[in-house]
Structure 1
Amino acid sequence: MKIYEVKERTPQLLEQLLNIWEDSVRATHLFLSDAEVNKIKEYVPQVLSGVEYLIVAENEDGKPIAFMGTENSRLEMLFLLPTERGKGLGKQLIQYGIKNYGITEVTVNEQNPQAVGFYEHLGFETYKRTEHDEEGNPYPLLYMKLYRTVCF
């Protein structure tokens, strides 16, 4: 496996990452309806193009299997193919982000308890909660900071 920062965000790569995003969201964001996922999907390419640092994990065949985006010491996004979950890849990406980009904060949907538990396991703690997401939808968000670094 290879983890690297993307220098050129080609249409082909963005399409591959959009597919990872959709598969991941459909497997983990069970509180979203199909229509909501499709609506959010419309602006994901713009977010992927605009995030300061885009990091991709590829398998042995050079195919993207996960990605994260970060800026200003915040993890803005982390998505893995469902088949890659539970294998330590998310932890590897977070470690990479902490080491190379100084990640200390993340915002996570409260209704995604697996993600909340994942970040807590890695040393993040909730410091703020909102009733709605940034778009005003009724999806509570947890704002988490890395208060302690768990031995990796």
Structure 2
Amino acid sequence: MKIIEVETKNRTADLIDRLLTVWESSVKATHLFLSDSEIEHIKEYVPQALMGIAHLMIAEDDTGCPVAFMGVEDGTLEMLFLSPEERGKGLGKRLIQYGIKSYAVERVAVNEQNPQARGFYEHMGFQVYKRTELDEQGNPYPLLYMRLTHKPVEDSNNGEGIR
């Protein structure tokens, strides 16, 4: 598994399509509170977010196929999505550790109805400091805003394969 950072100029339509596949499979596995039509609606905005995020890191499998990605901007983790088959293998932890170390990630917002994500971020050293009733688009999905309160213990291979 290798992790690469992709500059804006190298974010091709093909790459965005492949990341959209990762996003959709991840959301269907973790955002059980969303209906299929809501997922399809949100999906329309994902390519723009992927093109506009300041720092985009992609994890690729041995065949060069994206299996996860993370987007960071101004110290905030804006997106982290893993293919369902990659969950629980330490890849999300590796990505977060890289974001903290390389981009001073200290904030993230998570859907309250996604308790697995909240638990993951708490395990990584984040704590809730604010809650909103609506998400950033005004939909009735409460958000938990989390701040890094202590850095996670780093793995000995942290950053390995990241270029």
Q: What TM bracket, shorter-length normalisation?
A: over 0.9
User: Contact conserved, 2:106 with 2:147, CA < 8 A, in 1?
Assistant: yes
**Which stretches of structure 1, 4 residues or more, deviate above 6 A after TM superposition?**
none
SS at match of 2:121: helix
RMSD across aligned positions (CA): 0.6
Query: Displacement, 1:151?
Result: 1.3
Instruction: Output one character per residue of 1:87-140: Cα deviation in whole Å (capped at 9) or x when no partner.
Output: 000000001111111100000001000000000000000000001101111100
In 2: Cα distance, 1:150 partner to 1:74 partner: 16
Aligned to 2:47: 45
Counterpart pick for 2:92 among 90, 93, 97: 90
Aligned to 2:159: none
Instruction: Output one character per residue of 1:52-85: Cα deviation in whole Å (capped at 9) or x when no partner.
Output: 1111001111111000100000000000000000
The code of the aligned residue for 1:97 comes to G
Aligned to 1:5: 5
The code of the aligned residue for 2:47 comes to P
The code of the aligned residue for 1:23 comes to S
Name the structure, 1 or 2, with higher relative contact order (CA <8 Å, separation 6+): 2
TM-score (structure 1 length as normaliser): 0.98
TM-score (structure 2 length as normaliser): 0.92
Aligned to 2:24: 22
- Residues paired across the two proteins, number: 152
Give the unaligned 5+ runs of structure 2: 155-163
